[in-house]
Structure 1
Amino acid sequence: MNRPRRNEHNREKILETGMELFNRQGYNGTGLKEILDACQVPKGSFYNYFASKEQFAVEVLEYHQQLEDEKWKQFHDSLSGDRITRMRQILNQLIAEQEQDPDKQGCLLTNMMGEVGSASESFRRIIQHSSDQVLQCIEEDFLKAQQEHSMRIDMPASVMAKLFWNAWQGALLRTKVEASTDPLHEVIDSLFTLFAQPAEQPAEQPDKS
């Protein structure tokens, strides 16, 4: 018997709903029935697309990463200025989005990393892969900023990228506890000050004494 043909529009709708629910309630706090009710699809249709809730969550993370990559590129293309200036503007826009929607609990990738990162091999692989992709994008931006001479060159871009990503994730977790985006602003201000190209020091004057 042939399997029913899948409707990709319905699949994306289910992924978008899962992404929203997981981000607000967590993976363990979201039941399959709740997902089905929110999407208004029967259980049979869900299993036509996804073998299990876990496999669904893995695909949600893949879908989320794809959307985030597209959003980051669109932001870059719509802004002007050097690379580091545009990066700060993008991050400030992301913070503003979170401030406009207080129910949104930080970043889905970070949330899932803390909740199910070690729950299974499939979760570990997708979270590691998504995190590596983010790090690669950050490193590429930092390399371009170094080439533009808007970012210090005495620290490798890879080191600064890891430092930023680790600090950003910690700040995202603090925003949940403190119900404030202040930690995110602090990370941007502190690290981008650290990463900025140092001003040239004035030549040392000879001692005339």
Structure 2
Amino acid sequence: MTASTSAPRQRGRPPRIAPSRQETREALIRCGTELLTEKAFLSTGLDEMLKRAGVAKGSFYHYFASKDTFGLLVVDNYDACFCRKLDRLLLAPGTPPLTRLAAFMQEGMDGMRRHDFRRGCLIGNLAQELASLHEGFRLRLQQAFAGWRQRVCTCLEAARADGEIAAETDCLALAGFFWMGWEGAVLQAKLVQDAEPLTVFAAQFFSLLGRPDRAPAATADSVPTVEDPHVQSHPD
């Protein structure tokens, strides 16, 4: 009987496995999320996104039915990531509620500094650009802001229950006011390329609550934050 022989094992790197269609879609969505914190949706070219993601030019419609479909998926991705960030900071156990809110604001300031004030809020950017042009985007962006408002409202309700703010405070209205001011401050910070609009808003907001001692300082590491290594950082 003759023993069968097999080809000798080749040395070197293992063969490269091409990413799946789903993996490529996810890579493009992540890339789009980064780009649209810096640039307008309508003026961002598909080829630019494909190049940044390392995907073959001209293959966009193999992964998405339209640019609008892609844009809404980017909004979903950003919103989900941002909600995880809000939950991590605003629900931090053992930390006073207003300190949690200050920690969110501090992290936002630090994130804008880290990216040299090139990046803003994707939801705010798209709301300014598309709300009057595309009903589908307007409704989805409105939904995102409603979710963010409710999370801040829950934090303020905890502050009210703990006696940090007045018992008669309308927490839902105050949470809406917070987002109006914070989004405007983010826009101004990007415009002037400085954190001053953010620190001014933070100081005025906490003074309005009668708690100026809770306002984050202009420099990093002034407010304690709770880090979760299992949560991907939000694209500031």
Q: Same fold (TM over 0.5)?
A: yes
Within-5 A mapping of 1:111-130: 111-130=125-144
Structure 1 Cα separation of the partners of residues 152 and 100 of structure 2: 12
Q: How far 1:66 moved relative to its partner?
A: 0.2
Q: Secondary structure at the match of 1:25?
A: coil
**Residue number among 64, 82, 85 corresponding to 2:99 in the alignment:** 85
Does residue 66 of structure 2 align to residue 52 of structure 1? yes
Alignment pair present for 1:188 and 2:202 = yes
Bigger mean CA offset, 74-83 vs 132-141: 74-83
Provide the rounded CA distance (Å) in 1 between the counterparts of 2:101 and 2:117.
25
What is the distance in 1 between the residues matched to 2:91 and 2:149?
20
| Whole-angstrom distance in 2 between the partners of 1:114 and 1:39 | 26
Q: What is aligned with 2:28?
A: 14
Distance 1:45 1:24, change over 3 A: same
1:75-117 Cα deviation digits (max 9, x unpaired): 3466742111111022101211111211533211111111112
The question of 1:25 aligning with 2:39 is answered yes
CA RMSD of aligned residues (A): 2.1
Give the percent of matched residue pairs that are identical in Structure 1 and Structure 2.
26
Deviation of residue 67 (structure 1)? 0.4
Which structure has more relative contact order (CA 8 Å, sep 6+)? It is: 2
CA distance 1:96–1:160, change in 2 (3 Å):
same
Structure 1 residue 10: Cα displacement: 2.1
Equivalent residues of 2:160, 2:169 under 8 A apart: no
Please state how far the C-alpha of 1:124 moved relative to its aligned partner: 0.8
The higher radius of gyration belongs to: 2
Aligned residues: 193
TM-score for the superposition, normalised by structure 2? 0.75
**Aligned-pair CA distance for 1:33:** 1.0
Structure 1 runs, 4 residues or longer, greater than 4 Å off: 76-80
Q: Please list, as runs of the form range in 1=range in 2, the aligned pairs for 1:1-209 lying within 5 A after superposition.
A: 7-42=21-56, 46-76=60-90, 80-196=94-210
Q: Which amino acid aligns with 1:83?
A: P
- State TM-score, norm by structure 1: 0.84
Deviation, structure 1 residue 52? 0.8
2:225 aligned partner? none
**Deviation at residue 47 of structure 1 after TM alignment:** 2.5
1:10-31 CA distance string (max 9 Å, x none): 2221111001111112212310
Q: Deviations over 1:8-58 (max 9, x none)?
A: 332221111001111112212310111111112236753243211111111
Query: Given the superposition, is the C-alpha separation of residues 189 and 103 from structure 1 closer, same or farther in structure 2, using an over 3 Å criterion?
Result: closer
CA contact (8 A) 2:117 2:189 kept: no
Contact 2:29 2:77 in 1 (8 A): yes
Larger proportion of helix: 1
